[in-house]
Amino acid sequence: MTGPAAPFAASRRTVTDRQPIALISVQGDPTATNVQGGAIGQSVYVRQVGEALAKLGWQVDIFTRKAEADGAAIVEHGPHCRTVHLPAGPPTQLLEAEVFPHLPEFIQALQAFQTKQGSHYPLIHTNGWLSAWSGLQLRQQSNVQLVHTYHTLGCIEYQACPQKPAIAPTRHQIEQQILQQAHRVVATSPQEQEALRRLMATDGQIEIIPCGADLEHFRSLPKAEARATLGLADHTQVVLYVGRFAPHKGVETLIRAFAQCYERQGSVGSASPSENRLRLLLVGSGQAIGGASGSEHQADDPERERLAALVHQLGVAHVTQFVGQVSYDRLPVYYTAADVCVIPSHYEPFGLVAIEAMACGTPVVASDVGGLKFTVMPGETGLLVPSQDVSAFARGIERVLADADWANQLKQQAAHRVRQTFSWASVAGQLSDLYRRLLAQSITQEQLWVDGPAVPWPCQPSTPTVEPLSPFSGVQAS
């Protein structure tokens, strides 16, 4: 693990003797307690990576959009890592498509912040497609090294939606351009690298650096205690989902699989439907709703309403609990209390939930897709089954629940694998090496950066009220 290289000492004297770098996460605020808009994993990544990079000697500024009117402008994570909230559009939670026309304001605010601080970021690491657009614009303004992490891909995410949003083609174009024009794209698994090559572009430089889990936070706790905290009886068999309720996360597959398990458990052995021991906990969006012990609240997003209707239709509403969004601090209790954590995604570039569950010693049954093939070792730390295959998920869940000895073996191996391979300190060490190499190249080659083709101005003719900002002379208005 290495920190900033000595040759840059001269350029970092104005404010600090550390090398400043910027992480941009327009739509995944690392300080938010209630993240909306599809960027939960991204906000975890940016916070963990930022803090770990600061420990390695970098001066880390994380830039995100101000989404709370009365939130602090700057939040210090530690002496050398902070999050800066920049104004861009109304200070409320917005969908990604709603944020898009406000990106010029975001860039202008970031540049004003740099000027005020008297600092310059020679390296910018962008996260998510909105940040990619911002990074491409900033790269046209000055000699910055641009690193990008996707976190998700529009063409995969939208596949599961009944109707593609109007922003889809623009997002796709940006996601292609960032691969072609960034100095490095960080893929979080070999499977993500393969998907980027297949779906985005054959040119552009990719380096594989995985995600991590906070190993102090996610660790094996006494299961009985976790159960007691959540009011779950010892004999209950708990199936857990943690994540967003976006269609491509495949929660419907899990609910249907769970209903199959429930039906079979009721019709065999001693359990009658009324004394069935299975419970499904769905941790994710919004407030608590329904189920065995939750209070009834109004669901707050259409996908969740659809899923709530499905559990009723399948007759498992009384054994299903929509837990709502759980704070990061409290998640280990849920992972530990569960007998199996199910990740039924249609696709995951990495899938943080898999390694968090495994770090807590909870076996995982996951779709045989993307980064889940990289993190979950079938038969050793859990099971991989074909994505969207309801019966295969049901059989996988039953296999783990049926054999306590095997589940215990999976538990040990799962925790061991995460400890060996996926720590944020190791991720930051690898990123640090990459940044150092890129910065060294930019100095020795003087003008390494070249202007790529201009990225189309985000404000298309359909939103003509927003004028292009004058500082960006290289950007074409359409």
Residues that bind ligand UDP (CB under 6 A): 40-42, 44, 151-152, 242-244, 283-284, 325-326, 328, 331, 350-353, 356
Smallest gap from residue 245 Cβ to ligand UDP (A): 10
CA dist., res. 245 & res. 284, Å (int): 7
Element housing 198 (H / E): helix 190-199
Which CB sits closer to ligand UDP, 314 or 326? 326
Which CB sits closer to ligand UDP, 37 or 458? 37
Place of tokens 């996610």: 218
Smallest gap from residue 193 Cβ to ligand UDP (A): 17
Smallest gap from residue 333 Cβ to ligand UDP (A): 12
Find, among 105, 176, 167, 147, the residue nearest to 431 by Cα: 147
Smallest gap from residue 415 Cβ to ligand UDP (A): 16
Smallest gap from residue 331 Cβ to ligand UDP (A): 5
Which CB sits closer to ligand UDP, 83 or 265? 83
Q: Helix, strand or coil for residue 169?
A: helix
Which CB sits closer to ligand UDP, 51 or 398? 51
**Rg, the chain, Cα only:** 23
CA dist., res. 128 & res. 149, Å (int): 6
**What would the two tokens of residue 68 be?**
């709370």
CA dist., res. 62 & res. 31, Å (int): 10
For the sheet with 20-24, list strands across it.
Answer: 74-78, 81-86, 59-65, 20-24, 123-127, 145-149, 184-187, 206-208
Place of tokens 């959009």: 65
Which CB sits closer to ligand UDP, 132 or 459? 132
Smallest gap from residue 263 Cβ to ligand UDP (A): 28
Smallest gap from residue 35 Cβ to ligand UDP (A): 8
Q: Are 127 and 349 in contact (CB under 8 A)?
A: no
Smallest gap from residue 128 Cβ to ligand UDP (A): 10
CA dist., res. 300 & res. 296, Å (int): 12
Which CB sits closer to ligand UDP, 144 or 153? 153
Place of tokens 């190791």: 426
CA dist., res. 212 & res. 417, Å (int): 12
Which CB sits closer to ligand UDP, 14 or 34? 34
Smallest gap from residue 39 Cβ to ligand UDP (A): 7
Contacts of 280 (CB under 8 A, 6+ apart): 239, 241, 254, 255, 258, 311, 316, 319, 320, 321
Which CB sits closer to ligand UDP, 12 or 346? 346
Beta bridge partners of 64: 85
CA dist., res. 132 & res. 24, Å (int): 9
Which CB sits closer to ligand UDP, 95 or 404? 95
By beta carbon distance, the residue nearest ligand UDP is: 41
**What would the two tokens of residue 344 be?**
């039924």
